[in-house]
Structure 1
Amino acid sequence: MTRLRAGVLGAGAFGRIHARKYAEDTRVHFVGVYDPDDERADQLADTHGAESFGALDALLKEIDVLTIASPPSFHAANARAALLAGKHVLVEKPLATDAALGAELVAIAAANKCVLACGHQERLVFDAMGLFSAPERPTRIESVREGPWTGRSADVSVTLDLMVHDLDLALKLMGRSADRVSATAHAEHGKAADQIVATLGFGDAEAVFTSSRIAADRKRTMRAVYPSGEIRIDFLARSFENTTSFPLNAAFAETRIGADPLGANVSIFIDAVLGVAPRPVVNGEEALAVLKLALDVDRASGLPSHS
């Protein structure tokens, strides 16, 4: 079997993980990486016996699939270049930082028959739990996703950096778009929000999201209230409490997908490119819906989405 040729744009923390996942997959030949920081790109390439490219165009000529793990402000331009070159693309979240640019990516991918996927891999955690098969819709969701300042993804708001995960999960759980959005936010390191609390309405249901990248400690939790009970999830402890009758998998963290959702997301992206899976975990259209909602949250807060 001819192996897919894969590349990674961005040699930071997430780029290194994606490179390792490609290098470990027997269906893939990891060709190399491009990063404006030559030293960082060289180190990552050397780790996997791959090539460090001096420009994105040079990398695109040698690959079939590309992970984009650059700062979020560059996601759209880099994905556009790759899709126009006929490459299948997995973009780390968010899909873009502008709704029109995100919509353009979806259109180009469809026109060129390319797979366009996004890195909202928290969906796979819920899938491993069995939560998406619940026979009820939540009446209320409360989520907290916060941690100390790292400087990573500081070019965009904490909404586009962290809250996008919970927005995606809420859209999937609620099964509909939000019809009411309000938010309050605080900026400390730039113009965009570093801390934000958003309240969203989904018909008769409500969701409250808290995200911060200037908190004292890391916290990743969600409480989902259903007519028959509630589920409290601790993403860091990889555990949950369940008072509903839903037959959820308490050992989800021990499953292949639950143990490594990012790796599973990359694997399913490859499946979709090879035609083994009908679609990636989160496709371009779904990622665009999350992006639009995140931008609505920032607008409601009165702060910009870009620093």
Structure 2
Amino acid sequence: MKKLKVGVIGVGHLGKLHSKMFQSIENCELIGIYDSNNETAKSVAQEFQTAVFNNLDDLLKSTEAVSIAATTSAHFQLALKAFEFNNHVFIEKPITATIEEAEELVRISNERKLNLQVGHIERFNPGLLALEHYITNPMFIQSDRLAQFNPRGTDVAVVLDLMIHDIDIILSFIKSPVKSIEANGVEVVSDHIDIANARIQFENGAVANVTASRISQKKMRKMRIFQKDTYLSLDFVTGVSEVYRLLPIDSPVTNGSISFGEIGIGQKKKRLLYEQPETKEINALQYELQLFVNSVLNKTKPVVSGEDGLRALKVADAIIGKINESKMVMQ
């Protein structure tokens, strides 16, 4: 079996998890790790019994692909270096700190035919995967992503730290250009936006109302999706999905479904059915890294491509811009 030679760049909290996951994936081989903090690198390398590289070039000479789990500000230069050595790249979200950097990485990856996958891990949440075949044409989406304060991630606005997960998911559902954005937000405990709300309107009439906070008392990560005759609810923390559907009155009540009776009058009567789709036991990080390895070995496009990461970054950047505009008006 062909095994992809993989390295990990940046072995803080996320990079350490990447190292662990790569060792559990059969069709790849963890060649080694690199971190600007040599002591951290040595500790992680010892834990996972892999090589530590003191020089990034030496790692890139030995690998075919790398995952970049360093700070966002370092993403661009590290990915550029990886591309120089013809390495495929998995890069944690957000793809880069600026739109210009992201556009350059997408351009180079396409020119060199190198895979670029962005780590929008919530795409692989078991609850979301269970809803895939129910989602057809969302017209309204409400998402709330609230977290307790953690200093990690406060080097960027909450829009780039947390909200971008939901932005990416929403853009993957609604196949229409963004028409307009309204947004508000405030800094509370850091130098960047800690709470934000955005209303995104699409050209096809769909609307998404997105809220993110990193100073909440309790963790909450929920999304509600409304489309014709269907209401979908997803809890990203528990992985539980719920589906309410209006179906023709003579529709059978299948195993696993609960009928709440009839709704409507005369010919418009429909049957309301409720169900909880079955979710599979999936480690989201392991699954997305496995798909990255598979895409490189099979020479296929990544599930969450560089273009996807760029599109989410553009919307996030526009939201931050609108928040900054509203602050100037208030002043």
TM-score (norm 2): 0.85
In structure 2, relative to structure 1, the CA distance for the partners of 1:4 and 1:135 (3 Å cut) is closer
Which residues of 2 match residues 1-307 of structure 1 at below 5 A? 1-125=1-125, 128-131=129-132, 133-134=133-134, 136-203=136-203, 204-244=205-245, 250-252=277-279, 254-255=280-281, 259-275=282-298, 278-302=300-324
> Deviation at 1:241?
2.0
> Deviation at 1:199?
0.8
Whether the aligned pair in 1 keeps the contact of 2:240 and 2:276 (CA below 8 Å) is no
> Deviation at 1:267?
0.5
In structure 2, relative to structure 1, the CA distance for the partners of 1:108 and 1:249 (3 Å cut) is farther
Give the aligned residue type for 1:217: K
Give the aligned residue type for 1:264: Y
In structure 2, relative to structure 1, the CA distance for the partners of 1:161 and 1:112 (3 Å cut) is same
In structure 2, relative to structure 1, the CA distance for the partners of 1:243 and 1:2 (3 Å cut) is closer
Aligned residue for 2:95, secondary structure, equals coil
Task: Find the aligned partners of 1:56 and 1:65 in 2 and give their Cα distance.
Answer: 13
Give the aligned residue type for 1:16: K
> Deviation at 1:249?
6.6
Whether the aligned pair in 1 keeps the contact of 2:128 and 2:241 (CA below 8 Å) is no
Aligned residue for 2:242, secondary structure, equals strand
Aligned residue for 2:245, secondary structure, equals coil
Aligned residue for 1:61, secondary structure, equals helix
> Deviation at 1:55?
3.1
Aligned residue for 1:154, secondary structure, equals coil
Whether the aligned pair in 1 keeps the contact of 2:128 and 2:239 (CA below 8 Å) is no
> Deviation at 1:13?
1.6
TM-score (norm 1): 0.91
| Stretches of 4+ aligned residues off by more than 6 angstroms | 246-249
> Deviation at 1:135?
6.2
Task: Find the aligned partners of 2:231 and 2:134 in 1 and give their Cα distance.
Answer: 12
> Deviation at 1:280?
1.5
Aligned residue for 2:81, secondary structure, equals helix
Give the aligned residue type for 2:315: L
Aligned residue for 1:66, secondary structure, equals strand
**Structure whose residues are more often strand by fraction:** 2
> Deviation at 1:2?
4.5
> Deviation at 1:130?
3.6
Task: Find the aligned partners of 2:145 and 2:13 in 1 and give their Cα distance.
Answer: 19
Aligned residue for 1:36, secondary structure, equals coil
Task: Find the aligned partners of 2:207 and 2:137 in 1 and give their Cα distance.
Answer: 11
In structure 2, relative to structure 1, the CA distance for the partners of 1:294 and 1:135 (3 Å cut) is closer
Whether the aligned pair in 2 keeps the contact of 1:130 and 1:249 (CA below 8 Å) is no
Find the structure with the greater CA-based Rg: 2
Task: Find the aligned partners of 1:138 and 1:269 in 2 and give their Cα distance.
Answer: 28
Whether the aligned pair in 1 keeps the contact of 2:6 and 2:66 (CA below 8 Å) is yes
% of aligned pairs identical? 29
> Deviation at 1:84?
2.1
Task: Find the aligned partners of 1:39 and 1:177 in 2 and give their Cα distance.
Answer: 46
In structure 2, relative to structure 1, the CA distance for the partners of 1:301 and 1:135 (3 Å cut) is closer
Aligned residue for 1:57, secondary structure, equals helix
> Deviation at 1:210?
0.6
Task: Find the aligned partners of 1:37 and 1:19 in 2 and give their Cα distance.
Answer: 16
Aligned residue for 1:172, secondary structure, equals helix
> Deviation at 1:99?
0.6
In structure 2, relative to structure 1, the CA distance for the partners of 1:62 and 1:189 (3 Å cut) is farther
Task: Find the aligned partners of 2:316 and 2:239 in 1 and give their Cα distance.
Answer: 25
Gaps of 5+ in 1: none
- Give the CA RMSD over aligned residues: 1.9
> Deviation at 1:57?
2.1
Task: Find the aligned partners of 1:176 and 1:13 in 2 and give their Cα distance.
Answer: 36
Aligned residue for 2:182, secondary structure, equals strand
Whether the aligned pair in 1 keeps the contact of 2:140 and 2:226 (CA below 8 Å) is yes
